[in-house]
Amino acid sequence: LSSMATVPLDVMVAQIQQASQAGNKVSVWGTFLAQYRAGGLDAVAGFATRGFVFRCLHVSLTTVVIKTGTELVTDVLEKASSGDPKGRPAGV
């Protein structure tokens, strides 16, 4: 859901950060208006959702990696703090 909600903003940020725009002041509203003038609502929709599948895939994979990595790191830290290399609580 987060990738679907932020795709238009992500595309706009990518547009603003392009090397060809370096040093230029780029207006978000102006960019959308230019797209509308170039091809109407279809052009705006196509522009705002460019790379949607890849963005969703990126967000999904990042979420999986972060969740799995967090569990692994937490397990290692808990084992280290228990004093037992097998992960048993101290005093057991």
The pLDDT of residue 48 is above 60: yes
Give me the percent of the chain exceeding a pLDDT of 90.
Answer: 10
Place 39 in a pLDDT band, splitting at 50, 70 and 90.
Answer: confident
Phi-psi region of 71 (alpha: psi -120 to 50; beta: other; left: phi over 0): alpha
Give 16: exposed, middle or buried? Use CB within 10 Å, 0-12, 13-18, 19+: middle
Q: What is the C-alpha to C-alpha distance for residues 63 and 3, in angstroms, rounded to an integer?
A: 11
> Is the separation of the CB atoms in 26 and 16 below 8 Å?
yes
Q: What global pTM score does this model have?
A: 0.46
pLDDT tens track for 61-78:
888 899 999 999 999 888
Q: What is the mean pLDDT of residues 7-34?
A: 72
